[in-house]
Amino acid sequence: METTEKIVEAYVRYVKGWATIPNIRCDGQHEIDLIAIDPLGLERYHIETSVSVSQSFSRLTTRAFDPELVKQRVSMAAQRRTLGFFIERKFEVAAVKEALARYGFAPGGYRNVIVTWDWTPEAEATAAGAGILLWSFQDIMREIAASIRHRRSYFGDDTLRTINLFVLALAAAEAKEDKPKALQNGAAPAASAPSPDAPFWVYRNWIHRRARLHRASCGYCNAGAGTQGTQGTATGEWKPFASRADGEAWLNGLGYADVRVCGMCG
Same domain, 61 and 130: yes
pLDDT attached to residue 24:
92
* 188-192, 213-217, 226-230, range with greatest mean pLDDT: 213-217
pLDDT attached to residue 38:
94
Please report whether residue 45 resides in a domain.
Answer: yes
Please report whether residue 180 resides in a domain.
Answer: no
- Tally of structural domains, the chain: 2
pLDDT at 68 exceeding the cut of 90: no
pLDDT attached to residue 46:
96
pLDDT tens for each residue of 101-135? 999 999 999 999 999 988 999 999 999 999 999 99
pLDDT attached to residue 189:
44
Please report whether residue 185 resides in a domain.
Answer: no
Name the pLDDT band for 171 (thresholds 50, 70, 90). low
pLDDT at 188 exceeding the cut of 50: no
- For helices 3-10 and 137-148, the axis angle rounded to 10 degrees is 50
C-alpha–C-alpha distance, residues 9 and 135, integer Å: 13
CATH of the domain at 140: 3.40.1350.10
Name the pLDDT band for 77 (thresholds 50, 70, 90). confident
User: Which one of 109, 138, 161 terminates a domain?
Assistant: 161
